[in-house]
Amino acid sequence: MSSTLDVEAPATDPRDEPPARHRSSGDVARTVVRGISQTLITLGLVALLFVVYQLWVTDLLAARAQDRLTEQLQDQWAGSPALDTPGATDPTEGTPPADGSAPPTHTPAPIEAGIGDPFAILHIPRLGDDYARVVVQGSSEVQLEQGPGHYVDTAMPGEQGNFSVAGHRVGRGSPFLDLDRMRPGDAIVVETADSWFVYRVLGDPATGEFTGDPTGIPGREVVRPSQVSVIAPTPGGGEPTGAYLTLTTCHPRYSAAQRLILHARLDGAPISKAAAPDGPAALAG
């Protein structure tokens, strides 16, 4: 007889097993809502970080770029042969001679700048006594991340035609954030290696209207992004009839749906920096 005992396990009673859980429609709905909420929170945080980057981080980066460009430009101008040309260093240039004859004429040196190179400084007294932005050659996003950029195929400062400059409204230093504050007759001063050029916003300073100029060119307008005629040699189209300056930026703020355009015209002859090292009177506003 075997000494091994075979013990049969007792049968399991199905009633002793825990009942299977069935997810109700309410549980499913709560899970879906929770998932959507978490996704929206994540998207909101990403959007917030993007706004912080666009409004503050890019401004800091652009400010550093402007500091670097300013230093580069000042070093470049300090060694510029344009300042060694006859008459350019004459402190009496532009003043009437004692014999009553006409004062000597200042002829600005030609400007040559490669894409991305700084070549001028934009001063806008209406936007602050210390408003000064270095202008670089080119108007693609790479150049506009550093500051205002010159439309390559337009005139240079003081030349016949339309010296046209683009700049961001918000972010990347926001150089043209307050361009809508400009008024007819306001000065826009462009500084180059050896010269100052004073432009005045078109319109009627007495009434504040941007229309009424004999040329028919408005001092300020809002256009579609595709309306490139605003940077034509004569703003709006036609052959060059004078020396103009055009500033372009996005409109309204925080949107690229339209473009805010400001037109100005050269006011008087170029001024030698040798004769006016601290700038023309227009810098005072």
Mean per-residue pLDDT for 235-245? Answer: 90
User: Would you place residue 45 in the very low, low, confident or very high pLDDT band (cuts 50, 70, 90)?
Assistant: low
Q: Decide if pLDDT at 13 tops 80.
A: no
Would you state the pLDDT for residue 91?
40
User: Would you place residue 85 in the very low, low, confident or very high pLDDT band (cuts 50, 70, 90)?
Assistant: very low
User: Would you place residue 252 in the very low, low, confident or very high pLDDT band (cuts 50, 70, 90)?
Assistant: very high
Would you state the pLDDT for residue 228?
96
**What digits encode the pLDDT tens for the residues 101-112?**
455 689 999 999
Mean per-residue pLDDT for 7-21? Answer: 51
More confident site: 62 or 132? 132
Q: Let me know how long the chain is.
A: 285
Q: Decide if pLDDT at 33 tops 80.
A: no
The chain-wide mean pLDDT, for the chain, equals 83
Q: Are 137 and 153 in contact (CB under 8 A)?
A: no
**C-alpha R_g of the chain:** 33
User: Would you place residue 87 in the very low, low, confident or very high pLDDT band (cuts 50, 70, 90)?
Assistant: very low
Report the percent of the chain where pLDDT is more than 90: 64
Would you state the pLDDT for residue 79?
80
Q: Which fold has domain 48-95+114-284?
A: Sortase; Chain: A; (2.40.260)
User: Would you place residue 40 in the very low, low, confident or very high pLDDT band (cuts 50, 70, 90)?
Assistant: low
Pairing of strands 195-201, 161-166: unpaired
> Structural domain boundaries of the chain?
48-95+114-284
Half-sphere CA count of 101, side-chain side, radius 13 A: 5
Would you state the pLDDT for residue 81?
64
Would you state the pLDDT for residue 148?
98
Among 24-38, 44-58, 131-145, 217-231, name the one with the lowest average pLDDT: 44-58
Mean per-residue pLDDT for 45-73? Answer: 74
Would you state the pLDDT for residue 59?
85
Q: Decide if pLDDT at 69 tops 70.
A: yes
Mean per-residue pLDDT for 257-276? Answer: 97
Question: Per-residue DSSP letters for 134-177?
Answer: EEEE--SHHHHTTS-EE-TTSPPTTSSEEEEEE--SSSTT-TTT
Would you state the pLDDT for residue 21?
55
What does pTM read for this prediction?
Answer: 0.78
Would you state the pLDDT for residue 278?
95
Question: Per-residue DSSP letters for the chain?
Answer: --S---PPPPPPPGGGSPPPP---HHHHHHHHHHHHHHHHHHHHHHHHHHHHIIIIIHHHHHHHHHHHHHHHHHHHHHT-GGGGSTTTT-TTTTSPPTT-PPPPPP-PPP----TT-EEEEEE-GGG-TT-EEEEEE--SHHHHTTS-EE-TTSPPTTSSEEEEEE--SSSTT-TTTTGGG--TT-EEEEE-SSEEEEEEESSBTTTTBS---TT---SEEEE-TT-GGGGSSSTTSSS--SEEEEEEEEESTT--SEEEEEEEEE-SS-EETTT-TT--GGGG-
Would you state the pLDDT for residue 56?
64
Would you state the pLDDT for residue 266?
98
Distances (CA, A) of 125 to 104, 108, 199, 213, 222: 28, 23, 12, 22, 22
